[in-house]
Structure 1
Amino acid sequence: MRQINQPAYHHGNLRRVIIDAALQAIIESGPAGWSLRELARRAGVSHAAPAYHFGDKQGLLTAVAAEGFAMFADTLERAAADVWEVGVAYVRFAIDHRPYSEVMFRPELYRADDPSITSARERAANVLVTSAGTLSPSPEHDRLTTIAAWSLAHGFAGLWLSGALPESADGDPEALARSMIRLVFGAMR
């Protein structure tokens, strides 16, 4: 039964409507806190519509992750000319696109071997690896430098989003991330 104040879905891109409803559900209750039936009710569509388009919840989260990784790769590629800004772009993406990030970095939620995910994830990884390589003190440390840079950006974004940092209340995440990245990796350059 449709909620009284929710308009019925009539026409348009049903796939997009369902993905948008999933993103809203992720914001409200996380990636695991809802069912496809509940999502259909939220979107004002038949309970069979999400299953028809995505198969199951894992299929829907695969579509969310694929879209997220494509947007993430685009964001990182735009920043690729400046190694410092790649880390800032990572943080900005995680904060601005939180529901995507909550799914993308939890591969147990989706089909990680889906070609649409692997392609975009590889694009993003290429930017991260290439950028971190410019910070590495030597080629044999490239992998460790990549892991350290990724951990720094990802960890900072998680701390910011959780409100664990006092600056999260009214600070500028990009300025703080930029300063932190320069502090940690500046000595390596």
Structure 2
Amino acid sequence: MRERTYHHGDLRRAVLAAALDVISAEGPAALSLRDLARRAGVSHAAPAHHFKDRAGLLTAIAAEGYALLADALAQAPDLRERGVAYVRFALAHPAHFQVMFQPDLYRTGDPGLLAAKERASAELRAGITTLGTTPDPRTAGIAAWSLAHGFATLLLTHNLTAPLDDRDPEEMFRTLTGLLFTPEMRQVPRE
């Protein structure tokens, strides 16, 4: 019996959307090109035309995620709001976020991925310049990224629901950055 297939207008987008749904519900380990083809109503070989294999699909998801993150960060005026944008991105795109930070899932040397990742990194670094003078901008950047990434991860894994006491996560993040990034705390003691 022959599998019934039809021409799909935008198969690439349909497979990406189905993959993001699977990742959101079950995690990246549950992904299978064959299952995604079934969900899209196309032959089991059709997704391979666009992605070659599972790693290619996950590479596309990571690249798209970094591009979306860069766009979100570019809209924020300062470091604090870039952190808020980072958290907002993670909550709005949990499947992308999950894949982006698991480089063992995708092809780290992919040119499209590298370009999107560099663009997102540049936007994060640009936020550091809004702090003014810092003794070590690189360390400040790592601290800011760690805070935003850790907070977003705790939210996504439901480890931070009770401590929020129904407070808006974005407002809570602003409060946290106010505690940690005051002018006094930006001064790193010199030995």
Cα 1:169–1:106, aligned 2, differ >3 Å: closer, same or farther?
A: farther
* Deviation at residue 142 of structure 1 after TM alignment: 1.5
1:112 aligns with 2:108: yes
Match of 1:68 among 65, 70, 77: 65
Q: Which residue of 2 aligns with 1:5?
A: none
1:173 aligns with 2:158: no
- Asked if structure 1 preserves the Cα contact closer than 8 Å seen for 2:8 and 2:42, the reply is no
* Deviation at residue 167 of structure 1 after TM alignment: 4.5
Q: Distance in 1 between matches of 2:85 and 2:178?
A: 14
Q: Distance in 2 between matches of 1:157 and 1:12?
A: 35
Q: Which runs of 5+ in 1 are unaligned?
A: 2-7
Match of 1:150 among 145, 154, 176: 145
Superposition CA RMSD, Å: 2.1
Deviations 1:88-130 (A, max 9, x none): 0000001111000001111111111111111111111112122
Q: Distance in 2 between matches of 1:157 and 1:136?
A: 25
Q: Which residue of 2 aligns with 1:4?
A: none
Q: Distance in 2 between matches of 1:171 and 1:40?
A: 41
Q: Which residue of 1 aligns with 2:21?
A: 24
- Asked if structure 2 preserves the Cα contact closer than 8 Å seen for 1:35 and 1:57, the reply is yes
- One-letter identity of the residue aligned with 1:164: N
- One-letter identity of the residue aligned with 2:34: R
Q: Which residue of 1 aligns with 2:82?
A: 86
Aligned to 2:75, what secondary structure does the other structure show?
helix
Q: Which runs of 5+ in 2 are unaligned?
A: 187-191
TM superposition score normalised by structure 1: 0.88
Q: Distance in 2 between matches of 1:169 and 1:27?
A: 25
* Deviation at residue 163 of structure 1 after TM alignment: 1.2
TM superposition score normalised by structure 2: 0.87
Percent sequence identity is: 55
